[in-house]
Chain A
Amino acid sequence: MTAPTGNRDGTPLLEAHDVQRRYEAGESTVHALRGVSVAIRRGEFVAIVGASGSGKSTLLHLLGAVDAPDAGRVIFEGRDISRLSDAEATRLRLLRVGLVFQRFYLMPTLSALENVMLPMAEAGLAPAARRARAEELLRYVGLGERTGHRPTQLSGGEQQRVAVARALANEPALLLADEPTGELDAATGAALIALLQRLNADGLTCVLVTHDAALAQSAQRVITMKDGRIVQDTGASPS
C-alpha cells in the first residue's frame, strides 16, 4: 500500500449543486451557504479559504455527509448523499470519507494505535488486520515508535498526525480537513502540510479549509468563499 487509493482520472469525485444551508438563530435566519456549486475531481488537492463566518466549515460538513443541505444536492462517487438517513450517512463517513479537525479530537483514553484502530473496528475488520494496518498507518505518518502513547503524551503536531492516520483507516476516497494546521506552530504545520501533500501524491483527494496562507499556497486549487458563496475558484472546470 501505503496509504491512499483513488485514481487521478479527472472525473468528479464530488459535486455540489447549488447547495444551501440556513440556520435559524432565534428570530433571525443565518444563510451560511447561499447556493454553492463546485466539482472536485479525483486526486485534487483543494484549499477552501475565506473570512471567518463565510461558510467554509458548513460546506465541508455537507461535502462529508456530516450535515445535510436545506436545498441542492451533493453527489459523491456518483451517489446523491444530500438526503441520506443518519445510518447511511454514518456508514459513508466511516468507509469513504476521512475527517480531520482543527483540534485533533482523538479519544483521550485510547492509545494512538487504538485511536487509529477504532474506525476499522467499527467497519468490522478483524483484530489482527486492524492492528497491522494501524501500525502501518502510524509508520506512514512518522509515528511508528509512538503507537502506545496516549494523546496527552503526544505533541499537537503528533496528535494531528494520529488524527490523519485515523482518517485514513478505512481507505477513504476523500480526506476532508477543517483547519488542520490551526493549532500548530509554523514548523509543525509545515510538516503536516508535507504529509498531506504526500498523501495527495499517493492519490488521495484532499479538501482542506484553511486560514493558513502557506497551506493554501501548497494547494493546486484554491476556492475562496465570502458570505456563503464561492467568489473565486482557481481550478473550476471549464464546463
Chain B
Amino acid sequence: MRTTLAWAALRRHPMRTLLAIFGLAIAAALLIDMVMLATGMRASFRSLLTSQGYQLRVTPKGTLPFDTEASVGGASALVASLRTHPDIDRVSPSLGTTVQVSIGDRATSAFALGTTAAVQGEYLLQGGREAAVDTVLREVVVNAAFLERLGATLGDTLDVGTERSAQLRQAGRRAQVVLVGVVRFLYVPPGLPAMAAPLPALQQFLGAAGRDRISLAMASVRVDGRDAEAQLARIEAVRQWIETEHPRVTAISTETAIVQVEERLAYFRQLAFILGALSLVIGVLLVTTLVSLSVNERLGELAVLRAIGVPQAGVLQQIMLEGLMLGLAGITLGLGLGLVTARWLNTILRDFPGLPADLDFFVWSPEAAWKALGMLLIASTVAGAIPAWRAARVRVAQALREEAVA
C-alpha cells in the first residue's frame, strides 16, 4: 500500500518526476564516469604493464622504454648476465627503431621492433604466423595501421630501408621482406604503422647501429606462493641488483612505473573526485527539492492519512520510498547512460596520439561503481528523509483545519 501510494505520488506529476529522474540519471552517470576514470586508468595501466608477466623493464640509462632511439651495446652479455640471476626466469630483449617501408608507389615510415617471438611481451599475433627465426631480415609481422597505410596484405613483399645516417656516415640499407603475420602491439599507439622481426635479423639489418644492441630488455621475476608484499620486495631487490651490476642501464619496475603514472594522474583523480562529489550533491538537492515540493502540496492529504490512523512511521516510510524510487530509477538510467558515455569518451581518449593501444581511461570496476551508486542511492533516500520527517510530524488537527479553510 505504501509502495502504491509512493508510486502514485510520483506518477501524479509525470513530467516533473521524469525530469527529476533524468537529472538524477545525469548525476549518476557523471558519478559512474568519474569513478571509472579515477580507478580505471590505474587499473588499466597496471594490467597493461603486467599483462605479459614482465615486472621489470631494463632500458638505456635514464630513458623510458622506446622513449628515444637510444640503445645499449653489449646486449648479449647484458641479457646473459640477467639470466644468471636466480630470481629472474625470463628475459625478453628487443630493439626499436624507425624504418622506411614501401610497396609499389606507397611508402611510409614505421616503427620496427626486433624481438624474440618465443618470449616477447610486446604484441599479440592476430593472423598469419610469426616471422621465422632468422639472422637476416626476410620476414616481418605488422600491425593493422601498417597494412592500411600501405594497402598491403599478408604475403606481400615490401621494401624496407633505414634512413641515411650522416653521423654514422652510413648509406641507407635496404631489404626485401615478406609480410607473414598481423599483430596487435600492446605499447604502440594504434594509429602508428609498426612491424616486428626477429631481433638478430633487425640487428644485422641495421649494421653498425644495431650490432649487439638493444633498446629494452623485459625481465620476469619468479612468482611463488609468497604474499604480495614479499613479492614486491623481491622485485625491488632484483631491480637494484640490475642497476648496480649494470651501471649503463635503468631498471624500472611495474610498481615504480605505476607510481610515476599515478603522480601524473593525481590531478585527474582529484578532478574526478570533485566532479563525483558534486554529482552526489546535485542528486541530493534534486531529490530534496522534488520530494519537498511533493510533500508541501500534499500536507493536507498526509494529515488525513495520519487522521485515519496511519502512524508517523508510515508517512515517513511512504515519503522516503518516493525518494528511494526516484533514486533507483535515476541510478538505473544513469548506469546505462554512464557506461555509454564512458565507452564513447574512452574511444575519443584512446585516439589521442601517442598512447598505447591497450590503455583504457574508463574501466568498469564493479566494486567501486557499486559503492558509488550505493552512496548515491543512500544519499537520495536520506535526501527524501528530510521532507519525509517534516511530513510525518505534521500536526494533524491543525493541518485538517487549514485544509478545510483553504
Contacts and interface: CB of A to CB of B under 8 A. Distances in A.
A7 B305 CA distance: 28
Nearest to B10: A109
B396 to A, nearest CB: 5
Interface in B275-314: 300-301, 304-312, 314
Interface in B69-125: none
A109 B1 contact: no
Residue from A87, A121, A178 with most neighbouring chain B CB atoms (10 Å): A121
B293 to A, nearest CB: 16
A166 B12 CA distance: 22
A122 to B, nearest CB: 6
A95 B1 CA distance: 17
A66 interface: yes
Nearest to A104: B304
Contact of A118 (B9, B11, B308): B308
A47 interface: no
A85 to B, nearest CB: 11
Contacts of A123: 309
Interface stretch (B53-61, B369-377, B398-406): B398-406
B309 A110 contact: no
Contacts of A90: 306, 309-312
Interface in A165-187: 166-167, 170, 178
Task: Please report whether the interface of chain B is mostly helix, strand, loop or mixed according to DSSP.
Answer: helix
Contacts of A70: none
A110 B9 CA distance: 10
Given A105-B300, A105-B301, A110 B312 contact: no
A99 interface: yes
Given A103-B404, A117-B1, A109 B12 contact: yes
A79 interface: no
Interface in A111-158: 114, 117-119, 121-123
A87 B396 CA distance: 13
A86 B396 CA distance: 10
Nearest to A169: B308
A58 B404 CA distance: 13
Contacts of A87: 311-312
A90 B313 CA distance: 11
B397 interface: yes
Given A105-B300, A105-B304, A66 B396 contact: yes
B308 A99 contact: yes
B404 A93 contact: no
A119 B309 contact: yes
Interface in B1-35: 1, 4-5, 8-9, 11-12
Contacts of B300: 105
A68 to B, nearest CB: 9
Contacts of A117: 1
Leading 10 A-B pairs by shortest Cβ distance: A94-B309, A109-B8, A67-B397, A121-B1, A105-B304, A93-B309, A61-B397, A90-B311, A66-B397, A66-B396
Interface of B: 1, 4-5, 8-9, 11-12, 300-301, 304-312, 314, 396-397, 400-401, 403-404
6 contacts: A58-B397, A91-B309, A94-B308, A105-B403, A109-B5, A121-B1
Interface of A: 57-58, 61, 66-67, 86-87, 90-91, 93-95, 99, 101-103, 105, 107-110, 114, 117-119, 121-123, 166-167, 170, 178
